[in-house]
């Protein structure tokens, strides 16, 4: 019987727990492509899944990990063959379908994306869902017609995964970037990624006025809740905010004032079920526009067995940038 190493989440009378274990290949879920996984990464959602702090995982047992990179071992899907290098982001993997914190994965071929030219598997996972989501946010702002000459771009949760990649991308594209963070100690790191200004997240995390001073033309927000309400209230006329996260909360205690008095737009960004055409556009842009040296500067690497510890750290705000998991 073929077995491999995996992080397994169980929920039963003994509680909710995640641990490294041996997993049998015949216990993987249905799919037409089997992948030997070399790398994964730790996103905020992975932290929620492993710790059980939010009901991300919908069935048990579950192998978490919403991302992976690897090589096709076998395939009955016409679009992939043995030896193809692939990546996967989202599609409910690690939530309802066994995910990337394992040395093997069996998934639907339609969920897979070819490894983008010019990126190694480790680099692709350094980007991962967080970086790919950041690129989707930038694309949403661009498609809305926003350009750097309109004014600054704000990035909330700046030292996190989405924030770090968003800063690097926006800076490369010529934006004046304002980074909002609760960690003043990260100023050198954030400026190294391309941030021009650093503001304390306390300016945005407490309830504010329905309409404030116009400060930025564009924003990438991974925080939600009161922060997002304040970001909208301080967005310039005809500006837009790309919203992709809920680190502060799922609520949005805002008014319609920014929308009807300043023509501000709120752009929802979903990375999980984004269609393949948009995914490939985002990954092609990441391969072209993301500075590799900045990507390396924001990345740390851990072993598969370390993921439960890192999951707790990411929820506690004790990680910086991106965390790659060496699975093989």
Residues 6+ apart with CB under 8 A from 58: 95, 96
- Domain-terminating residue out of 268, 287, 309: 268
pLDDT value for 257: 98
Q: Is residue 123 part of a domain?
A: no
Asked if 168 contacts 232 with a C-beta cutoff of 8 angstroms, the reply is no
pLDDT value for 298: 96
pLDDT value for 215: 98
Same domain, 149 and 260: yes
Q: Is residue 174 part of a domain?
A: yes
pLDDT value for 75: 98
- CA–CA dist 111, 237 (Å, integer): 39
The total number of structural domains that make up the chain: 2
Tokens linked to 177 = 């970037």
Q: What is the CATH number of the domain that holds 83?
A: 3.90.180.10
Q: Is residue 104 part of a domain?
A: yes
Same domain, 207 and 110: no
pLDDT value for 149: 98
pLDDT value for 113: 97
Provide the residue-wise pLDDT of the chain in tens; the chain has 328 residues. Answer: 589 999 999 999 999 999 999 999 999 999 999 999 999 999 999 999 999 999 999 999 999 999 999 999 999 999 999 999 999 999 999 999 999 999 999 999 999 999 999 999 999 999 999 999 999 999 999 999 999 999 999 999 999 999 999 999 999 999 999 999 999 999 999 999 999 999 999 999 999 999 999 999 999 999 999 999 999 999 999 999 999 999 999 999 999 999 999 999 999 999 999 999 999 999 999 999 999 999 999 999 999 999 999 999 999 999 999 999 999 8
Show the domain range for 10.
3-115+298-326
Q: What is the CATH number of the domain that holds 170?
A: 3.40.50.720
Same domain, 100 and 145: no
Same domain, 305 and 182: no
pLDDT value for 305: 97
Same domain, 133 and 264: yes
pLDDT value for 263: 98
pLDDT value for 212: 98
pLDDT value for 6: 98
Same domain, 89 and 157: no
Same domain, 251 and 142: yes
Q: Is residue 273 part of a domain?
A: no
Same domain, 39 and 136: no
Q: Is residue 97 part of a domain?
A: yes
Same domain, 105 and 136: no
Q: Is residue 280 part of a domain?
A: no
Q: Is residue 281 part of a domain?
A: no
**HEC states along the chain?**
CCEEEEEEEEEECCEEEEEEEEEEHHHCCCCCEEEEEEEEEECHHHHHHHHCCCCCCCCCCECCCCEEEEEEEEECCCCCCCCCEEEEECCCECCCECCCCECEEEECHHHCEECCCCCCHHHHHHHHHHHHHHHHHHHHHHHCCCCHHHCCEEECCCCCHHHHHHHHHHHHCCCCEEEEECCHHHHHHHHHHCCCEEEECHHHHCCCCCCCCCCEEEEEECCEHHHHHHHHHCEEEEEEEEECCCCCECCCCCCCHHHHHHCCEEEECCCCCCCHHHHHHHHHHHHHHCCHHHHHHCEEEEEHHHHHHHHHHHHCCCCCCEEEEECC
């Amino acid at each position: 019987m073929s077995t491999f190493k995996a992080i397994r989440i169980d929920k039963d009378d003994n509680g909710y727990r995640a641990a490294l274990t041996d997993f049998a290949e015949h216990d993987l879920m249905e799919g037409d492509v089997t992948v030997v996984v070399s790398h994964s990464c730790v996103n905020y959602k992975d932290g929620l899944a492993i710790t059980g702090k939010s009901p991300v995982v919908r069935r048990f047992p579950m192998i978490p990990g919403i991302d992976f990179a690897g090589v096709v071992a076998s395939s009955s899907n016409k679009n992939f063959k043995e030896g193809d290098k692939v990546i996967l982001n989202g599609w409910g993997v690690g939530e309802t379908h066994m995910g990337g914190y394992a040395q093997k994965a069996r998934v639907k071929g339609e969920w897979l994306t070819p490894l983008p030219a010019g990126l190694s598997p480790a680099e692709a996972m350094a980007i991962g869902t967080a970086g790919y989501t950041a690129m989707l946010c930038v694309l949403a702002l661009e498609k809305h017609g926003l350009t750097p000459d309109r004014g600054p771009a704000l990035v909330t949760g700046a030292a996190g995964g989405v924030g770090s990649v968003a800063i690097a991308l926006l800076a490369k594209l010529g934006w004046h970037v304002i980074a909002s963070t609760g960690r003043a100690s990260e100023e050198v790191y954030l400026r190294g990624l391309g941030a021009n200004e650093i503001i304390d997240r306390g300016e945005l995390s407490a309830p504010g006025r329905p309409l404030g001073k116009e400060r930025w033309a564009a924003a990438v927000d991974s925080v939600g809740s009161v922060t997002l309400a304040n970001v909208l209230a301080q967005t310039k006329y005809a500006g837009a905010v790309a919203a992709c996260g809920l680190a502060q909360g799922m609520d949005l205690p805002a008014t319609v004032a920014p929308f009807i008095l300043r023509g501000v737009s709120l752009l929802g960004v979903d990375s999980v079920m984004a269609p393949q055409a948009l995914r490939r556009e985002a990954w092609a842009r990441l391969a072209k526009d993301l500075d590799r040296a900045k990507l390396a500067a924001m990345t740390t690497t851990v072993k598969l067995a370390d993921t439960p510890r890192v999951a707790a750290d990411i929820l506690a705000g004790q990680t910086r940038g991106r965390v790659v998991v060496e699975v093989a």
